[in-house]
A and B are shown apart, each in its own frame.
Chain A
Amino acid sequence: MPPNLHSLLLVIVILTTAGCAREQDEAVEAGDEIAPEIKVYKASMDGAPSTIDPVQASNVYANAVVLNAFDTLYRFKYLARPYEVTANLAAGMPEISEDGLVYRIRIKQGAHFIDDPVFEGGAGREVVAEDFVYSIKRHFDTTQRPRGAWLWQGRVVGLDAWKDAGSDYDEQVEGLRALDRYTIEIRLIKPYPQLVYTLAQGYAAIVPREAVETYGREFGSRPVGSGPFRVISYDSARIVYERNTKFRQEPVDIWAEGYDPETQGHIGVEAIHGRSPPFIDRLEIHFIAENAARWNSFTKDNEIQYLTVPNEQFDNILASKDPIVANPEISEKYHMRHSVESGFVFINFNMDFPEFGYNDDPERERRNKALRCAIIKGFDWARRNESFYFGLGRVFPGIITPAVPEFDPELSEESVTLDIDGAKKLLADNGWNEDTIPEMVYGTTAGVSQRMFYEQFRGFMKKIGYPPGKVVLKQYATFGDFVKDTSNSRLPIVSKGWSLDYPDAENTLQLFYGPNGSPGSNDANYKNPEYDRLYEQSAVMLPSPERTEIYRRMNQMVIDDCIAISGLSRTRIYLWHKNVIAMPDREIVSGFYLRFVDIAAEDG
Chain B
Amino acid sequence: MDVLKYAIRKLVGGIPLILGVTFVSFLLMVYFGPDLTFEMLGKNPTPEQIAEVRKELGYDRPFLVRYAEYLKELATLDFGLSDSSGEPVSAMLLRSIPISLALVTPGFILGNLLGVLLALVAAYHRSGWIDKAIMGFSVVGMSISFLIVIIAFQILLSSSYGLNLFPVRGWNVHSLYDYVMYVTVPTLASVFVALGYNTRFYRAVIVEEMTRDHVRTARAFGIRPGKLLYKHILKNSAIPIITRIMFSIPLVIVSGSLLIESYFGIPGVGKVTFDAITTGDQPVLKAVVGLTAVLFVITLLLTDIMYRAVDPRVSLK
Contact = CB atoms under 8 A, between A and B. Distances in A.
B98 to A, nearest CB: 3
B2 interface: no
Given A236-B267, A236-B271, A237-B271, A20 B85 contact: no
Interface string B277-294: 111100000000000000
Contact of A50 (B85, B96, B170): B85
Nearest to A297: B168
Interface string B22-58: 0000000000001111111111110101101101100
Interface stretch (B133-141, B155-163, B199-207, B219-227): B155-163
A289 B264 CA distance: 11
Interface in B253-285: 261-267, 271-272, 275, 277-280
B184 interface: no
A59 B170 CA distance: 24
Contact of A149 (B42, B87, B102): B42
A33 interface: yes
A61 to B, nearest CB: 12
Interface in A1-46: 2-5, 8-9, 12-13, 15-20, 22-24, 26-28, 32-33
Given A23-B98, A286-B265, A480-B39, A32 B174 contact: yes
B35 A521 contact: no
Contact of A16 (B41, B44, B50, B101): B101
A27 B262 contact: no
A150 B35 contact: no
Given A28-B174, A142-B56, A237-B267, A147 B42 contact: yes
B171 interface: yes
Given A220-B86, A286-B265, A521-B43, A299 B275 contact: no
A556 interface: no
A236 B310 contact: no
Contact of A23 (B109, B173, B302): B173
A145 B40 contact: yes
A483 interface: yes
B44 A484 contact: no
A235 B96 contact: yes
A26 B159 contact: no
16 contacts: A2-B238, A15-B101, A20-B98, A20-B179, A24-B175, A51-B85, A58-B42, A143-B56, A146-B42, A293-B169, A297-B265, A300-B164, A478-B280, A479-B278, A483-B38, A520-B44
Interface in A80-136: none
Contact of A288 (B101, B169, B267): B169
Given A32-B174, A286-B265, A299-B160, A520 B84 contact: no
A477 B35 CA distance: 11
Contacts of B173: 20, 23-24, 27
Contact of A520 (B43, B95, B267, B280): B43
B279 A480 contact: yes
Interface residues of B, number: 74
A514 to B, nearest CB: 12
A381 to B, nearest CB: 26
Interface residues of A, number: 72
B88 interface: yes
Given A4-B306, A296-B169, 11 more contacts: A8-B306, A15-B98, A150-B43, A150-B44, A219-B86, A235-B96, A292-B151, A481-B35, A484-B37, A484-B38, A520-B45
Contacts of A53: 86
A17 B103 CA distance: 11
B215 interface: no
A238 to B, nearest CB: 7
B84 A51 contact: yes
Interface string B41-80: 1111101011011011000000000000000000000000
Given A20-B173, A32-B172, A300-B158, A150 B42 contact: yes
A386 B151 CA distance: 26
User: Which of B98, B169, B172, B277 neighbours the largest number of chain A CB atoms within 10 Å of its CB?
Assistant: B169
Contacts of B171: 23, 237
Interface in A289-322: 289-290, 292-293, 296-297, 299-301, 303
A273 interface: no
A194 interface: no
Nearest to B262: A290
A147 B56 CA distance: 13
Contacts of B99: 19, 23
Contacts of B100: 19
A150 B42 CA distance: 6
Nearest to A221: B87
Contacts of A142: 52-53, 55-56
Contacts of A286: 169-170, 265
Contacts of A484: 35, 37-38
A255 B33 CA distance: 52
Q: List the 9 closest A-B pairs by CB distance, nearest first.
A: A19-B98, A220-B86, A217-B86, A520-B44, A235-B267, A50-B84, A19-B102, A296-B159, A221-B87
A4 B154 contact: no
A20 B261 CA distance: 15
Interface string B82-110: 00111110000001111111100110010
A487 interface: yes
Given A150-B43, A487-B38, A519-B45, A299 B179 contact: no
User: Which of A23, A56, A217, A292 neighbours the largest number of chain B CB atoms within 10 Å of its CB?
Assistant: A23
A293 B280 contact: no
Interface in A193-247: 216-221, 235-238
Contacts of A430: none
A264 interface: no
Contacts of A357: none
A148 interface: yes
Contacts of B47: 519
B86 A293 contact: no
Contacts of B95: 26, 235
B38 A293 contact: no
A56 B171 CA distance: 28
B154 A293 contact: yes
Contacts of B181: none
Contacts of B86: 51, 53, 216-221
A516 interface: yes
B7 interface: no
A27 B95 CA distance: 11
Contacts of B160: 296, 299-301
Contacts of A303: 167-170
B280 A519 contact: no
Contacts of A149: 42, 49
Nearest to A519: B45
B104 to A, nearest CB: 9
Contacts of B154: 292-293, 296
B81 interface: yes
A201 B261 CA distance: 32
A8 to B, nearest CB: 8
